[in-house]
Chains A and B, each alone.
Chain A
Amino acid sequence: MSTVGDTLNLIHPLVAKYLRRERMPHMACPGCGIGQVVHATLLAVDELGLTPKDTVWVQGVGCSSRITYSTWVGDNIDAHHGRMFAVATGLKMSRPDMNFICFTGDGDCGAIGGNHFIHACRRNLDVTAILFNNGIYGMTGGQVAPTSPLGAVTTTTPYGNIEDPFDMCKMAVAAGASYVARWRSTDFRQIANSVKKGIQTKGLAFIEVLLQCPTNFGRYVLKTSNPQEVVKWIKQQTVSLKDAEKLSPEEKQGKILYGEFLHQTDRPGIVERYQQFLKQHRKE
């Protein structure tokens, strides 16, 4: 069977360098925002000079994970649904010398894995977690997510969603992560910079990306299959932290803020804490 690269005789240099050719084409639907985030992540990886010898990709379950799993040329450790942070904890505490770039989704991290997310932030686990927030359960066909907007019609909220969406960046800040940022899939350079900062920051880096899911979010919530329409809608819902300073509370009402919420450079992660602890208590 031919791969995309063979047939088109063209392959993006970052894909050629860091992703497995035999795993292409990937599983993402046309117009999905996940590719943009992976692209930005690979740029960060490249700019930091990371390699498969020092960097592992970790996933959970859902679009975020199924699409990225086994594409990285190095090791890919994909957890059960929601257990990505628990798995990342075992990996990082066993191999503190390696970098773990973790991909999770809004259902994986905000619903079924919510407790692990909170406690990974509390422990300040030294990993870089990228949350792909498409506002819906995409892989299972468009069910309401904890991040779906109020009123959203989905396959499991045919009369509209009566619950408020979960602000997971606020949760990450409250629970104790070192670095917290939110971007849109179109903020390519900002995502790449955040991933770089995340990898270089001690403790947990939580980077949420609001991304377009034309297949399910578009279809059920916005009644469009056009990815550009979904991107436009995300842009309408969001306002940067900088711009928000100029807005009145009424103008900010219902808007989703994006930007860098927190960057604590001096807060130790669990790895540093554990290493200091071992120095005191190791006997043999």
Chain B
Amino acid sequence: MPQPWESPKDDISDLLKSLSAKLGTGPELGGRLLTAAGGLVVLLGFATSLYTVEPSEEAVVLRLGRYVSTQTPGLHFRLPFGVERVVKVKTKVILQEEFGFRSSGKDGDRTSYSGDDFKSESLTLTGDLNVANVEWIVQYQISDPKKYLFNAREVLKNLRDISQSVLRRVVGDRIVSQVLTTGRVEIAEEAQRLMQEVLDRYDIGVRIVTVKLQDVNPPESVRPAFNEVNAAKQEQEKAINQAEREYNTVIPEAVGKAEQTVRNAQGYATAAVNRAEGDAARFRETLKAYQAAPTVTRSRLYLEAMEELYGRVETLTIVDKGVSGVLPVFAPGKDAAAAASGDQR
């Protein structure tokens, strides 16, 4: 594997020296050339020994391939001519990997996504042996640049492999309806935890910032059936609501009517008792007066009543006791006549 610092610049300076020595005719020219070359070397060395580390980075310094230190942002000095080599790592930047889709170029303010070509990443078996299309993102940060550089050759590939493996494991422990609806947050959290566990085992200096599920759908051809389940839920709710509405229409009214019935009865009760008491009082008073002169009062009451009664009837026919046969003519009034005749004592 070719590493850039393996062609030491020392060769060049030595070559310059030797060249000047070879070409130099006089000591003066040679000397001047040597001085010039020397100056150039110093200048070159100085120029290549300064380096800056950006605020988002940390720099790992290797001296002849061996790790020396990790430098924080700022201006730093290193030994020139490939003796010290600096590898800058973006440790402060939060990086993102996408699974099951790729966000591509921006269309106006909106990022456009394509997910069709990444079915092999997103199709996932659930615990009840159904298939779900799960898209997710992993955000991570390089937490230890030294481990990041020295412990694995393809950190990103490891991260992607682990992310897929772990997410499938987590989804595999849930049923499809959980994956599609209620389990999303839980799945993301568990996946994050497990991913970190595995990555820590590799010790490759990566910290998972977050795992987030994006679109989680049933496969295209199955989607209508899943929608049907949702529709059925709505129907169920509708049926229940309808019945509740019916209940709420009927029962309160019935309660009101029941109350009305009871109140009516109470009214009747009060009236009946009052009437009885009134009648009783009247009777008692009348009786008192009657007992003072019973015979006269009795006759008077009778006559007064008859007077009033006979005074207001439409026709009054008086028939002699011996006459009979006239009654059928007045058949309609028979009842009244019977009543009247029945009153004799």
Q: Does B associate with A?
A: no
B contact set with A: CB distance below 8 Å:
none
A contact set with B: CB distance below 8 Å:
none
